[in-house]
Amino acid sequence: MRCDLSHRPKILAISGSTRSQSSNLQLIQAIALLGRDRFDLTVAENVKNIPQFDPDLLPERLPPEVLTFRKALAAADGVLICTPEYAAGVPGTLKNAIDWTVSSMDFSQKPVALITASTSGQLAHQSLLGTLLILESKIAPECQLVISFIKSKVNQNSEITDAIALTKVQVLIRTLTIAVLNPEQLSYLPLPLLDFER
């Protein structure tokens, strides 16, 4: 689905960290600066305050925090997720927020860029990547990235100080912009193969 070219692309950034000055938030701020000529980036607020996912709630009784999050997703042309890895997995607050979108399919056909930035990050990255693909997010290969040892690669001024990481992030920014404006120019990751026991 092509973005309306009458306005600048709107990117919703979601941090998987609950820390107010986390490396992932600094990374988001760095991307906002690097991509300022390409899109308008807004950070999703109060993701950590979204109540625990409850599939028994009727649509008319959803918590206001959930409705606000879904509204922000619906208004965005693309999504950027930057997350750490906690105990070899996806942070609970981030997974909880995404779980609230399963029935509404807010991620379906939405261009998404995923960065896992942590000490390691591979296990959380693969888990979250699988979840997003199951939700039918449009993720180009160049729009998913693991940045290990992130604290040594972004500084307090929200500057990416590692040359290799900076180059990869710049490629991700360009690719996410193309995914929003000219999606037919890209190829995307396929749905993960699910191996169910018979």
What are the φ and ψ backbone dihedral angles of 12, each rounded to 5 degrees? -95, 120
pLDDT digits (tens, 9 = 90+) for 107-142: 999 999 999 999 999 999 999 999 999 999 999 999
Question: For residue 197, is it within any domain?
Answer: no
pLDDT value, residue 36: 97
Question: For residue 2, is it within any domain?
Answer: no
Looking up residue 22, the CATH number of its domain turns out to be 3.40.50.360
* CA separation, residue 159 to residues 34, 72, 174 (Å): 9, 26, 18
Question: For residue 32, is it within any domain?
Answer: yes
CA-nearest of 93, 109, 86 to 45 is 93
pLDDT value, residue 198: 43
Q: Which residue ranges in the chain fall short of pLDDT 50?
A: 196, 198
Give the Cα separation of 69 and 13 in Å (integer). 11
> How many domains would you assign to the chain?
1
Question: For residue 193, is it within any domain?
Answer: no
Question: For residue 137, is it within any domain?
Answer: yes
Cβ atoms within 10 Å of 84's Cβ, excluding its own = 23
Note down the domain range covering 32.
10-185
pLDDT value, residue 58: 83
Question: For residue 36, is it within any domain?
Answer: yes
* Residues whose CB is less than 8 angstroms from the CB of residue 7 and which lie 6 or more positions away in sequence, other chains included: none
